Structure 1
């Protein structure tokens, strides 16, 4: 299967190596950063140095490919999907942007190829888990999804280090959040809905952020009382972000905030990804709750270290592509994350990264 992989950043490089190593994919990595591409080229992976915002140049790279795997910043998702449609390619991406996903869904209507956005961690794997658990109930009451990509050793006031795209981080903090409350669809404010919980002996907070639940609101409309997604952080993070975004009005100057964070907040490869889903409802006349909890840790291999967010995000999209290639997903039109069977995902050679993580057995 011939793949055009757009983006050679940390996540893109991980995706490229995973797909290339199987021998089942011919991968060409497309980016404007010659330094990143050179690293992959030295490993025998084909590369193409072009400006990914140049539509004509990008289209030239997509022609003749079977699929596009997009690991570019979220604001390029619609452009990449449009070119994939134009060139007759299947399309997969990692976007958490709600508007981009809706636009891609519209363009996928009637398409001869498949369009599957939101194939990462959240949205992505978290929705697969939630849908799998919810299907086991006769009547679903509450679906709660909580995900955090956190530094293993927080040291600053925000108790946070950059573990993934700062563009995506700020984007999810600034846009309305879809949810279902009391059986009705609602649009909740980001950074609101603050809650605290303890998992595996560590204290956390969680609050509304946009994009994480993918298309679950639409899929479960009329069939669930309450459904929501919240981002997990260490206690105190939310209040400081509200101060920056609201009190200092940096929500209106996001580029300035991104610049500040890039200059002052170190990135880290020593992170942990927390996945926590609870579903409650009626089963055989009894009110029950099912919980799925995982902690995925960074791989500190000396030669090729991987952060937990690299592992989980790359595993999500690679598993989606792999399951598609095996014919286990629809082959055309818009493909939702909920159409991935959780057992198939966890049994997949890429998806097993989540299965090999440490399960958390208790919650207080």
Structure 2
């Protein structure tokens, strides 16, 4: 049984703990600065728990000793501290961060490491990159790769058409930081909340706009091989305009703690959500201009006897699937591992990756091949 440390006992960390402990394959230790958060963990499963200051590198490294892997589910600003502690402890490292700067530090730590460093293992970045890379391999020449992801309330009832479903800090960060894209064959930075587009899926109209961090390493991987590549977050129409007013007109991009307090006091959370994953790739195949699409909707569902939101299920399921593949020796065991290095077929066949498997996708791939 593999010994695993999970750092962070919040919405995602608690779900990761439920999935891993419930599988019977992992001995789980959960670390968090809050004793209250640890006490709220699902009592159906046996966890080793330890309350400690996550931002204390020496204490954290000691707590990670003898662990096969560290699964980082803490806020993005703690990413580099936890990654360094994992390296010091000699453990494999996985995280969920969408923060570009933190991921660059993780990549530097991976250089020459005896253990694997696999950042950005969530939904976006994470699974969205795995799916896009798989589709891209089916083409002789790539033209456009479009990645769209959204975690949305099923029943929006406010002007933002939004409910809090995951980290408020993470939402604000992706709305503020520059975004990577490939435009006319060249890697560029584009502003967040811009290039808003509308599209319809199953009779529902959505908008999608630039947000930071969703592509992971895909831009660097495909630069020079694709004409256009971009990532956009999906929301209901009108959301982007209100957020731009808050961030730009009211200047709250420079007062992020104030914006966080406003959102958390005024916008309720919900477990009744849906995650939409929509990847479209076009290009030349056997002399013809073709397009392939992966699309899926994932809804809230019970995990370990407790209802979990769709964003909890997809994010936790993704990082648990990657951990499983690492544990089974199906991924590199040392150095920096990209999401592009993870085969989609292996991911979807995994017990945790099953959340992402559309009913008709296997049949579609068999027919396409």
Instruction: Provide the TM-score with structure 2 as the length reference.
Output: 0.95
* Structure 1 position 303, deviation (Å): 4.7
* Partner Cα separation in structure 2 for residue 157 and residue 225 of structure 1: 36
Matching residue of 1:171: 173
Alpha-carbon displacement from aligned partner over 1:151-197 (angstroms, at most 9, x marks no partner): 01000000000000000000000000000010001100000011000
Instruction: Report if aligned partners of 2:165, 2:270 keep a CA contact under 8 Å in 1.
Output: yes
Show the 5 A alignment for 1:62-141.
62-141=64-143
Instruction: Report if aligned partners of 2:209, 2:233 keep a CA contact under 8 Å in 1.
Output: yes
* Structure 1 position 35, deviation (Å): 2.1
- Segment drifting more, 147-156 vs 56-65: 56-65
Q: Mind listing any 5+ residue stretches in structure 1 that lack a counterpart?
A: none
Q: Mind listing any 5+ residue stretches in structure 2 that lack a counterpart?
A: 364-369
State whether structure 2 residue 207 is matched by structure 1 residue 205.
yes
Show the 5 A alignment for 1:1-364.
1-40=2-41, 42=43, 43-299=45-301, 303-355=305-357
How many residues align structurally? 360
Instruction: Report if aligned partners of 2:182, 2:227 keep a CA contact under 8 Å in 1.
Output: yes
1:224 partner SS = coil
2:243 partner SS = helix
* Partner Cα separation in structure 1 for residue 306 and residue 194 of structure 2: 38
* Partner Cα separation in structure 1 for residue 74 and residue 157 of structure 2: 29
Instruction: Report if aligned partners of 2:180, 2:189 keep a CA contact under 8 Å in 1.
Output: yes
Sort the Cα spacing of 1:53 and 1:265 in 2 relative to 1 into closer, same or farther, 3 A. same
Backbone CA RMSD of aligned residues:
1.5
* Partner Cα separation in structure 1 for residue 265 and residue 348 of structure 2: 38
Sort the Cα spacing of 1:140 and 1:151 in 2 relative to 1 into closer, same or farther, 3 A. same
| Deviation beyond 4 Å, 4+ runs, structure 1 | 300-303, 356-359
Instruction: Provide the TM-score with structure 1 as the length reference.
Output: 0.96
Sort the Cα spacing of 1:346 and 1:228 in 2 relative to 1 into closer, same or farther, 3 A. same
